[in-house]
Structure 1
Amino acid sequence: MARYFFNSDNGEHVEDRDGTELPDVETALAAAQALAEELLGQKVVHLWPDGVLRITLLDETGLILAVLEMTATTVTSPAIHRP
């Protein structure tokens, strides 16, 4: 088992100092997605207006393995309607 770290940023950087032991990178990627869903579901993260949620997945050496980023942008010009 390897240790993976899930740092998050939503205007405030939160560093995962403990990490989580997981069997492989695929499981860690799924855990990063689950963390994003959890933060959004608990309304801990406020995307509107014009916010960003970023979760950075790192291995135990500090190597960045993936970045999950969700961006919300409000439209300030008239919307274009599709037929």
Structure 2
Amino acid sequence: MKRYFFHISYGDEFPDREGTSLPDLKSARRNAMELLGRMLVDESDSFWDKPNILVTVADADGLVLWTVETIGLASTAVGKRA
């Protein structure tokens, strides 16, 4: 199994220093999406204070494989009636 590191940026940087052993890239991609999904649920009350979450996945050599990002955009029409 290979070790993948899931670094989080959410206003602050939270580097993954331990990593997670997974069998393949597909599993690492799934893990990144599950992590992002849990963060969106867990941080739903404070998400709009810093509406940008990045999960960057790197291999054991530090090579960045991909980054998953979510951005919240509030409409200027929020709270207005047409």
Name the TM tier (shorter chain): 0.7 to 0.9
Determine the C-alpha separation between the residues in 2 that align with 1:33 and 1:45: 20
Report the 3-state secondary structure (helix = DSSP H, G, I; strand = E; otherwise coil) of the residue aligned with 2:60: coil
2:63 is the counterpart of 1:63:
yes
Residues 4-83 of structure 1: pairs in structure 2 closer than 5 A: 4-43=4-43, 46-49=46-49, 51-76=51-76, 78=77
Question: What TM-score, normalized by structure 1, do the two folds share?
Answer: 0.84
Give the CA deviation at 1:47.
Answer: 2.6
- The CA deviation at 1:37 is 0.8
Is the 8 Å Cα contact of residues 32 and 57 (structure 1) preserved in structure 2?
yes
Unaligned 5+ runs, structure 2:
none
Q: TM-score, normalised by structure 2?
A: 0.85
Greater strand share, 1 or 2? 2
RMSD: 1.9
Residue 46 of structure 1, CA deviation: 3.1
Aligned length: 78
